[in-house]
């Protein structure tokens, strides 16, 4: 079953035409990576799917329902979660409060938060600490945990390894693997190798359209069809 489908979407920031007819689909249980250079529209694709930057043309379908033009909270309430670039944790709220906000709609919110603590013991240790006082890696864990506790069928994960030390990135990768066990995932990631390791399929985006797509197995950044789009 197709979880997310973008069909010929055109998205703008003011007069800047960012997505220029982009189409993609994500099947249930998959991890799909969006790769490409900076500024080609990967983050905008996630924002368009969630309704944060709605498309002017084209359609977005989520779990078979046309959600184009719906408010972001309505789309999110249908089970689409977001782990944004730069984490965007609520820095003046405690770790526990961050998770409570995210788990507000889940019937078993306490159990989900407990599961998140099991997966990220550091968050349990610092549950009463303000999120702004956590390290970058811990904040990333919290952002992922926030996406996981929200009863989501699909998680949109944007640049999870950005600005993190290599050791922390490994932990984040493990966390994402754990999250993907029961959630379909769209992953935007600058680190090509990491994206290929994690994802089942990929879409290569350039100038707001998909220029390549396929299985990730065996794909490297040295492939000619990939390299020419990743190098400036």
Partner 1 sequence: MSLAPLAGAAAQAAPLVDPGTLLSTGGAVDGLQTAARVLAEGIGKAAVYFTIAVGLTLVFGLMGVLNFAHGAVAMVGAYLGGLVLVLFVGANTGTLATILVFFVALALVFAVTTAAGSAMEVALIRPIYDRTPTYQILLTFGVSLIIEEVARIVLTLRGIQPNPQWQAPMGTAPDVLLGRTELLGVGVRRLYLFEVAIGALVAVAVWAFLTKTLYGLYIRAGSEDTEMVQALGIDVRQAFTVVFGVGTGLAAVGGVLLMWDPIWGPSVLLSIDVLLYAFVVVIIGGLGSFTGTLVAAGIVGIADSVTTWLFTTGIVTFPGLSEVTIFLLLVVMLIIRPQGLYGVEEVGGH
The site for partner 1 (CB under 8 A) is made up of 50, 52, 71-73, 76-77, 81-82, 84, 88, 90-93, 97-98, 100-102, 104-105, 146, 150
CB nearer partner 1, residue 92 or residue 227: 92
- The answer to whether 199 touches 216, Cβ cutoff 8 Å, is yes
Question: What is the nearest approach in angstroms of partner 1 to the Cβ of residue 100?
Answer: 6
Rounded distance, CA 63 to CA 46, Å?
Answer: 16
Question: What is the nearest approach in angstroms of partner 1 to the Cβ of residue 170?
Answer: 26
60 phi, psi to nearest 5 deg: -120, 125
Question: What is the nearest approach in angstroms of partner 1 to the Cβ of residue 193?
Answer: 28
CB nearer partner 1, residue 36 or residue 81: 81
Joined together, the tokens standing for residue 227 give 């390299």
CB nearer partner 1, residue 105 or residue 220: 105
CB nearer partner 1, residue 150 or residue 219: 150
Element (H, E) at 195: helix 192-198
Question: What is the nearest approach in angstroms of partner 1 to the Cβ of residue 129?
Answer: 16
Question: What is the nearest approach in angstroms of partner 1 to the Cβ of residue 88?
Answer: 5
Our measurement of the distance from residue 161's CA atom to the centroid of its chain's CA atoms, rounded to an integer in Å, reads: 12
- The answer to whether 192 touches 227, Cβ cutoff 8 Å, is no
CB nearer partner 1, residue 7 or residue 97: 97
The torsion angle over the Cα atoms of residues 214, 211, 46 and 110, rounded to 10 degrees, is 10
Q: Looking up tokens 């703008």, which residue turns up?
A: 12
């Amino acid at each position: 079953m197709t979880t997310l489908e973008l069909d010929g979407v055109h998205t703008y920031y003011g007069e800047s035409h960012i997505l220029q007819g982009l189409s993609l689909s994500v099947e249930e249980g998959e991890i799909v990576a969006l790769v490409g250079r900076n500024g080609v529209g990967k983050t905008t694709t996630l924002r368009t799917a969630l309704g944060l930057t709605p498309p002017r043309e084209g359609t977005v379908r989520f779990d078979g329902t046309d959600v184009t033009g719906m408010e972001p909270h309505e789309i999110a309430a249908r089970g689409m979660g977001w782990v944004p670039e730069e984490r965007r944790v609520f820095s003046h709220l405690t770790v526990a409060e961050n998770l409570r906000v995210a788990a507000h709609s889940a019937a078993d919110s306490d159990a989900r938060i407990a599961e998140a603590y099991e997966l990220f013991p550091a968050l349990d240790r610092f549950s009463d600490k303000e999120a702004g006082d956590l390290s970058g890696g811990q904040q990333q864990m919290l952002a992922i945990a926030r996406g996981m506790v929200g009863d989501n069928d699909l998680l949109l994960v944007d640049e999870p390894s950005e600005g993190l030390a290599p050791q922390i990135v490994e932990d984040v990768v493990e966390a994402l693997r754990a999250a993907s066990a029961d959630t379909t995932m769209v992953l935007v990631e600058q680190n090509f190798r990491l994206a290929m390791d994690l994802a089942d399929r990929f879409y290569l985006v350039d100038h707001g359209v998909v220029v390549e797509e396929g299985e990730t197995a065996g794909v490297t950044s040295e492939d000619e069809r990939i390299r020419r789009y990743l190098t400036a």
